[in-house]
Structure 1
Amino acid sequence: MEALLSQAEQLPGLVAASRSPAVRSWDPATVSRALGWARAFRHLHRHLRDAGPGLREAAERSLRRRGLHGGLGQLGRSPSLLSFALLENRALPSPARGRLLRILLLPSGGGEEELLLPLSARRKAAAQLLPACEGPADRAQAQLLLSRLREEEEGSGLAFLDRLPCGPALYKAVASALLEPGGESEAQAVLLPWLLRRGGGARLEAFCRLLPAARLASLCARHPGLLGPYFGLLAAWGGRLAHDPLLGEWRSTHPEVTWSELRERIRLLSQEPEPLASAIREHIRKLKGQDGDFEAPGLSVWTDLLIDLERPDVEKPGRDHSQFVTETWSERDLSSP
């Protein structure tokens, strides 16, 4: 046992190093080894905790002599001490931090192995997950977010999302999670309600402005509940455009809304498989009728959008994804956010 306890002498130095600028030289493998040592110390703690009183007392005295003034308790908190030290150390490089987040949020062993990773550390890791995973890590980002939502108690997922910094990183994570295979339950129970909740029009608009039009079209094909609010937003944008007869183009007093952007978004929606494509055209026809049902161009933005969609160079919808579009639209669905 003395040999095992002698290894525990390394814990204070390991925690101190994880709090210092020395972590600038750490790579992902170093993070894995450090957390491996922490879990080994935790295993040792459990072994000694379950031993007889005489052995526990002897271990406590030995640990305190070796610099672990917290005794067995400090040994048992090894994963927490190390995890929090690394999470709070801004000197830790991004690749190493990414490995840390994955270990904390997606433990590979499951079962007992997962219990050795502190819940408080996993929650702190989830708050850092979004800005740490960018670019090509979209799928990993989505999987981490879904994993964290599954860890929440039923009904508390919305509160968890509300605690995260709201901005581009979170919106990208939500969009990726909505398209992730196997994430349908979380999408319906948490992600879509959070995105579309009453009074959240500003959130939906920020989400839609951030994402590429093609990704939004894919999201609408996958989740019909998003289509109505998104189209309502497009209808509101279209209402801000006015035709300039001298220039022969649609212009807006709102610089963030342009004819070319609106046309591109509508085109991409209309290129999705049936029944979404036909539904888009039908609702543009309804808006055209409400606008006066003009046939001549330049009088209604909806007339001009229909003319644009009926041009021969506009791609027609391809394969059938009707299994993703099972809901019908109602007038309530199409109301502006």
Structure 2
Amino acid sequence: METVLGNLSRFAEVLAVAHSPWAADWDDAEVSRAFQWAGYLEQLSRRLEGAGSVAARAALRQRLQEQQRLRPRAPPELPRYRDLLLEELGRGGELLCEALLHNPAASAPAFHRAAAWYRSAGSGRTSGGGPEATAALSASLGRAVRVKAATRLLRRAWGSEPPRGSVGVVSETGGQILRERLEERLMMEGRELPERQAAAYEELLQRAVPGGDGEEEPGSFQPLAALLLETTEGNDGSEARARALGWLLGDGRALATLCRALPCSQLAALTARRPAFGRRYLRLLQRWGWALRYDAARAEWAPPSAEEPSWCRLLEHFTALWQGPPPVREAAESELRSLKAADGDFEVPGVSVWTDLLLELAQ
């Protein structure tokens, strides 16, 4: 039993690497070893399916559950590491292929081997073969190829000419790719535990909104912004957009990072399109404004640190809202007047940041 558990942990590590940038270093030999581990799991699953293996299967399930409770959090270098579920043992090859096909960093040998596995599975290798299974596998493979190719092209485009202002063709394509990937996760909901689903959504969206450490790639926030600004006929993509917006509004750090990076005009457009975003955006601007302190020697409002938004940047945010559609401007003006009244309702400059913002915007 201990040997089996150790082997399962090693394959879990293989899967975590297949999801990570380290998959770029896999050569043919390393790819073959990874698929050998997947084959071992599938053989183990078949043995446990036998009528005489009920007790062994129950014992393994119990040990896996105990291991999951005792396991510490995933190491930072392998954030996708997780213990496998008993039901996943027979899907080792599928899990490995899914990781490699959807990882833009995967090496060419890894990607081609995964594609070959899918072609083999679609032609009847798996027990669930048949026309419907073949069509589903072919569609998944086609989506993965498009995502991988488009991701590389978008990175080159963003690296040479980062999009500015309104969402352009490059950004719209990034939003469509993100929506497709979220929709793929939605299609898998019935096959995963709720906590696994939530982790998968969070990882996809975190890739679109990196942590605010100042090292984001050009355009790295554009896919999520494009998805939220996207308009489609009927209900196409509405569930994916709702999931993305819910995650963004529930993660204060991601929201602040996105609002620091996107052009103010784009944030104003998001406010007009998604009122729930606009309400949280105004609250964020309010927090930034309260943090400013008036420097009498320089006669200007100063942030508490260089990392925090400046007075000029805060004014840019409100100017973009002021120039937006009437509902957006009215909401921003109402918010500023309420804040000005709460701060003493002064009319002279240099006393209240909200008074000074209204004076500037009135010019």
TM-score interval, normalised by the smaller of the two chains:
0.5 to 0.7
Matched, 1:174 2:224: yes
Say which SS state the counterpart of residue 117 (structure 1) adopts: helix
Query: Which of 210, 229, 240 lines up with 2:261 in the alignment?
Result: 210
CA contact (8 A) 1:263 1:305 kept: yes
Query: Which of 257, 282, 287 lines up with 1:236 in the alignment?
Result: 287
Report matched runs for 1:270-289 at 5 Å: 270-289=322-341
CA contact (8 A) 2:183 2:240 kept: no
Matched, 1:297 2:353: no
Deviations 1:95-135 (A, max 9, x none): xx9xx9xxxxxxxxxx9995342647856986897576243
CA contact (8 A) 2:179 2:237 kept: no
* Distance (Å, rounded) in 2 between the aligned partners of 1:287 and 1:303: 9
**Residue 238 to residue 142, structure 1, CA distance change in 2 (3 Å):** same
Bigger radius of gyration, 1 or 2? 1
Report matched runs for 1:17-166 at 5 Å: 84=101, 90=107, 115-117=136-138, 119=140, 122=143, 133-134=154-155, 135=158, 137-153=170-186, 158-164=198-204, 165-166=206-207
Deviations 1:155-182 (A, max 9, x none): 6775433123541566321111111221
Residue 293 of structure 1, CA deviation: 0.7
Residue 290 of structure 1, CA deviation: 0.8
TM-score, normalised relative to structure 2: 0.51
Query: Which of 316, 329, 333 lines up with 1:264 in the alignment?
Result: 316
CA contact (8 A) 2:102 2:144 kept: no
Say which SS state the counterpart of residue 295 (structure 1) adopts: coil
Matched, 1:186 2:239: yes
**Residue 244 to residue 128, structure 1, CA distance change in 2 (3 Å):** farther
* Distance (Å, rounded) in 2 between the aligned partners of 1:306 and 1:215: 22
CA contact (8 A) 2:268 2:324 kept: yes
CA contact (8 A) 1:178 1:187 kept: no
CA contact (8 A) 2:348 2:355 kept: yes
Say which SS state the counterpart of residue 326 (structure 2) adopts: coil
Identity %: 32
Amino acid at match of 1:210: A
Give the helix-richer structure, 1 or 2: 2
TM-score, normalised relative to structure 1: 0.55
Amino acid at match of 1:270: W
Task: Please give the root-mean-square deviation of Cα atoms over the aligned residues, in Å.
Answer: 3.8
Say which SS state the counterpart of residue 293 (structure 1) adopts: coil
Gaps spanning 5+ residues in structure 2: where?
1-26, 29-93, 116-131, 159-168, 211-215
Residue 206 of structure 1, CA deviation: 0.9
Say which SS state the counterpart of residue 250 (structure 1) adopts: strand
